[in-house]
Structure formats: structure tokens, C-alpha cells
Structure 1
């Protein structure tokens, strides 16, 4: 167990990103010309708290926008459309009068809450920057969070940049410090008794409520970039943003089923299965952890090498390609894992 000394949010973000680029050399001075100083750059706008409130409400209801960032984008539009479908409203992805009325019952929900960091928050296997090469990753004891900032970002369904924007770069990360976070805290922690204790801790650490609807079947839409959860009457229960395949590894269209759920899985890296593997790369068994290639859970399908799983880079969900699998944020994948079981059908559509 590693204890982390006090360090500011901004400094921790720099540690994650690596060294800053060297500053460009100043231009040569003009011999007889006064050049006015450029105006300082305008500060980037912070998260819109009204938008964040909508994201937080939809996240609680199971219509995930993915990363909660206080920005109007494709993820929020999909989440609104899912909520509309589930509530008998024409799915426009915009908050019209009927949608606003349906959401109004949750209007007392606050977008942000203040938490006090504890010693328990700052104690864990923080491993520093994750190596890019799989052979180096295989040498780590766990592919854990790089530092407490990354852990807090995933716990509150957001990113390092959003946490810094909600607070300030010099906010200390130390026991007793108060920080503002998206209000995704859930009360239910009564997880199924048959789950491994380590996975129960993972669920709690990702603010996944133990009370979840049970899926009859799943539908993954390549076009919409969504995974939808339905009951036996074909009622939409939940929806999550996903990344699905690529031109090299397209999503396998058809009806499949979940065979096994592997919690906090190890990952066998086989370069023969990856078209973009570098020449000479060797097979490696990667340790478990949220920064592993498949994140915190692997839902194996009855098609070899394909599954539904988490990711180490939540902000890329719905924006980048995958190797044919269905990729979700860790918190959404963990939540889905409580809705499904071995045998749950998964229908992959164009």
C-alpha cells in the first residue's frame, strides 16, 4: 500500500501527462519597430453546471452520457435520446417541453457536491505513468491508477481536467482537503454475495449502485454507438455509450450471448490478434486493474476473442475505434455487469 504525500491537482495532472513541451525560442527583435504585446489568452470556459446537472441526472437514471464534463456533445445527445425512448417521447436528443417535464421530478438534484478527502482515498496501489509497451506493463504488480487524481476522476465519472476546472490547479490532494466533484454518489452498496470481495470494492470505488434492473437482452448499435438494455417486454431499461470495432476489426453483426463474466481480469496480450502490433512484439500476460486494456470487467461472448469490457481511457468512448469488441467506460461496464448474467443475449446491429 502506497501513501501519497500532499500534492496539488494541477501538478498531478502534469505528472500524468508527462513533461511539458519546451517553450519556443522568442523571435528576433525588430531593429526599429515596437511590437505590441499580444493580449493574454482568454481562459477556457469551465463546465456548464446546468448541462452537468442534466448529465448527472441521466447518469443516475441509467442513461449514461459517458464522461460527465458539463459540455453539450454527442454523448449527452445520445443519453437524452435514450431517456426519451424509455419515456415514450420522440427521440430527438434535445430537451423539449415533454422531456423537460419528465426530468423535472429530479430537479432538486445538484450537479456538484463537495467531499472531504480521507486517508482511505489516498491509500492504494498508485503505479505512476503506465508504460506504453505491453512487455513493460506485464512487469507491474497491477495496472492500477496512476495517482489519486485519476482514481477520483473515475470514481466521479469524469476526467482529470474537469476535476481541476471544478476546483483549481492548486487544490491540495491531501486528507482533510475539500474538493468539488460531479454528484454521482450512490447509496446502494449491498452487492450480490457471490461476487468476489475485490470486485465489490471496485464497484463501490466507481460509485456503482447495487440496485440495478435485470436485462433480458442487450442491443448494440454500431450506427448510434450505444448499448441498450431491455427487459422481456422489450422495454428500454438503460443505455450506455460504446466504441464498436473499426475498419480493420468490424463489429461482428449478429446475435451472440454472454458466456462468462471475468471481474478485474488479467489480459493475455497476443500480438497475432492485433493488426497494429509492432513487429517483434511478444505475448504477455498483463495484470488486472482499471488501466488494463479491458478495464475492470470482461463479459465474454460466444465468439472467440470478442467481449464487452471497460477501458483505461474513458474520454475516448464513442470517439475512437476498437479491435472489434464493445468498449465502455469502466463505471458503465461495471454497472452493466450487475444487469447481465451468463446466457444474456447480445444483439449486434449495423
Structure 2
């Protein structure tokens, strides 16, 4: 069973529990909906610490024994008119109250003028407002790769590498099945996808829709943790999100650099035409932002109806994917049947999983065990019709420049089997749903995350 983590901050001889807030997402999204208003300018942040007649009290009723940095909180007013300090995720860090003594605060139980249990979210929720569902966010307006010739016959497993007995059957037991999702809104599914993405069990593009990639991610997470994740229990998912990065949706302000690019007008299908481009860049700010925030491009537009994404200074709603998974991967399983890549550490623990497109009938992936030879970020691509698949009518060697819209995306993890690798893709929405030219194709962000956790010599095993 999941247990909420509790952290403490120690100053001198006082230990203060970090606030643990409630889970009403109606309240949690209150900040995005305008539940708070900025405090007046004359009531500057520093005034509260220089004024001995006030103190900062957490939603739990504890007195803060430290001063949050100016870059850590904003001074706001809630709907009751109280002055509160709010962190970047919308968490209420503390409320400013008269300094009439800690005992007086306790005698009031901090309910008469402070927060009751139902208030301990990011905003204020009237009785009966919370239904256990997530509101729809849209309601809120505001070194080159060169493929080598493939041998006529692949060496047997015994010729390729020694086999550790513990890896003879890496998937001895089926993955714990994921529960069926019933009647969940797009926003609730988004929260589920974001949780899995932050945990390192990628659902692919985050689009607010339930699909096979989400199901596979849940099953892999359950396998790794030994827990059961109920995708229909929104409260549990929100509680977990609270401790691994906060709200699934956040605000982002488009910068001048975002708007400037560089971008290309379009990406041609023909490799000869691709080779004429100076860089296989994104074609628009929406494509770039979608990839930056692990989002489906159409979903980005749905969350921001009528927004012009080319104007710097525009504030938009985006996915909050959190930090990349970290760790050291010692072994990779490329499961062709599941269309999923599973990454294990040197102790045999499953630490990450990614939906993947693996091979096709015309260009199947190999069998057996290979190893990682090198990792290249932002690679170029050399097309050789004599040893690659046939692309259009091209019969000459072509050099394609780097870029996220290149044939191998932004990462190339070369394998010891010639011409094969694990790489990114210019079409993230198709991952796990289409086939590849024999390689292992991931979203660019998943390939980047995996690429930073592997090193030469890591084994990659293909299983059917």
C-alpha cells in the first residue's frame, strides 16, 4: 500500500514538519482558476519577517521556523482575504497571522480563522465542491549515424555473448495486469499519464486519452514496485503526484527564443529533399513545445484554445513532466510482443520502461542478445541504399543533418549488431502503434532519458 512520505526541516533545536495538503483537485487547481490574488505591492514579502507582530503558520497549524526564499514563494491572498505564501506548484506554504503566541493558535485549532482539513489543498474548496474528479484544464482560460551492411545470417546467441543463467528467461511471469479504466475524464487520465511519466514508466505522448501505452506503463510500474495502481482512484494518483512533482498541469510563458526557433517550413518525405535542409528542426512552436513537455501537439492546442503560440510573453497551460529518471541501466529487454523497452539495474531491478516500435515484417528486429556500443546525442544520419531499407527512388548515399525531425530523432544508441540501434523519432504519437525498420524507436524524450542512463557494454536482449 502506498504510504505518503513526510519530510522535516530542522533549524537549531526545532524540527518542523513540511506541510502535507489534502487532495481535492478542485482545490488543487484553484490557483490556476484564479482562487488566489496577488497581495498589494506595499505588503512586500520581506515585511512579514521584519514585522514581529506577525508569524507564519502552516496549514497543519505549525509555526514555520525558517524563511522561504523569495524565489520559493509568492505572496498571495486567498478567497477569504487571508495573506498566504504559495510555492511554484500552488502549495500553501504558510498563512500570515498575528503573533499572539503559538498556544493561542493551538487553542483556536487554526480552524476559526485558518485552514480546516478540507482547505489544505492549493486553494479553497466550499463544502460539496469536491467530487473526487479532476476538472477539465481546458475550462481554465488564461557524431553522424552510419548504418552498416547487415550480414546474410545472424550469429547464434552462443556466438554473440555469454549468457548469465539469471537472465535465461527475463519475463518468467507475466506483468501484473492493469485494471480497466472506467468513466475517467481527459484531465484524470492526464494526471495518471503524468504520474507514470515522472516515475520513469513512460505512457508515450501525454494526450489525456487511455490507450495501450498507458496500460503497459501501469503494468511495468506494478512489476517494478510490487504495488497495485488503481487508475480509477484519482485521489491516490493525486496523492502520489503531490510527492513526485506537484500538479500535472502548469503555466509556461513562451520566450523569445521559443518563438525564434530555428524552424523549417516543413519536413519532406523524400530523403533526397531532407538532405538539402540545413537542419531537420521543428516545424513550429507547437511541435517544439509538445516535445519539450512530452505532449501530443493537438492536446497542447486543446488546452490552450485560440492561443497564438508564436507570440513571446504568452502564458499557456502545459504538462509538468518533472525531472528525468536517473540511475544506471545494466540491462535492457526489448520486448517485441509488448512493444516495450524494459530497463534494469545491475541488481536486476526494473527501473524504467518505455513504449517502443520494434521491427516489422519486412525489416525485423534481431533475436538474441547484443550490447550497446556508443551513444550519440543530436546525431546526423547517413543513408546508404545498398545497406539500408529502400527509401523512395533514392539510389545514392545521402547525408542528413541533425535535428528532432531526423530519421533517428535526437538520440542514437548504437548496438553491436550492425545497422541496429535504439533511437528517437520525429513522430512520437506513433510510438508503440506502428513498426520500425528493424531498430527500437522511442519518443525523443524517452530515448534521451534512456541514453543518459546507459553506457557502452550494457546488454540488450530481444524477446518475442
Q: Distance in 2 between matches of 1:184 and 1:49?
A: 15
Q: Give the distance between the partners of 1:217 and 1:96, measured in 2 at CA.
A: 33
Residues 49 and 111 in structure 1, CA contact (< 8 A), matched pair in contact too: no
2:292 pairs with one of 148, 155, 159 = 155
- Cα distance in 2 for partners of 1:166, 1:180 equals 6
Does the Cα contact within 8 Å between 1:228 and 1:236 map onto a contact in 2? yes
Q: Flag as ranges the 4+ runs of structure 1 deviating above 4 A.
A: 99-103
Equivalent of residue 210 in structure 2, options 72, 75, 81: 72
| Equivalent runs, 1:1-350 vs 2, <5 Å | 48-89=186-227, 95=231, 104-107=239-242, 109-186=246-323, 209=324, 212-350=326-464
C-alpha displacement at 1:280, in angstroms? Answer: 4.8
Q: Does the 8 Å CA contact 1:112/1:180 hold for their aligned counterparts?
A: yes
Bigger drift between 245-254 and 165-174 goes to 165-174
Cα distance, 1:159 vs. partner? 2.0
1:50–1:111 contact (8 Å) kept in structure 2? no
Q: Tell me how far apart the structure 1 counterparts of residues 238 and 298 of structure 2 sit (CA, whole Å).
A: 28
CA distance in 1, matches of 2:391, 2:310: 37
Shift of 1:281: 3.5
Q: Choose between structure 1 and 2 for higher RCO, CA contacts under 8 A separated by at least 6 residues.
A: 1
Provide Cα deviations, 1:228-283, integer angstroms capped at 9, x if missing partner. Answer: 11012211101000000000111211101000111111101122344443345422
* Structure 1 residues 102 and 155: CA distance shift in structure 2, 3 A: closer
TM-score by length of 1: 0.75
Q: CA deviation at 1:89?
A: 3.5
Structure 2: gaps of 5 or more residues: 1-136, 139-184
CA RMSD of aligned residues (A): 2.2
Q: Does structure 2 conserve the Cα–Cα contact (< 8 Å) formed by 1:81 and 1:94? A: no
Distance apart, 1:104 and its partner CA: 3.6
Residues paired across the two proteins, number: 280
- TM-score w.r.t. structure 2 length? 0.57
* Distance of 1:280 and 1:133 partners within structure 2: 8
SS of equivalent residue, structure 1 residue 164:
helix
- How far off its partner does 1:301 sit? 0.5
Aligned-partner SS, 1:135: helix
Conserved 8 A contact 1:80-1:94: no
Q: Which moved more, 1:274-283 or 1:316-325?
A: 274-283
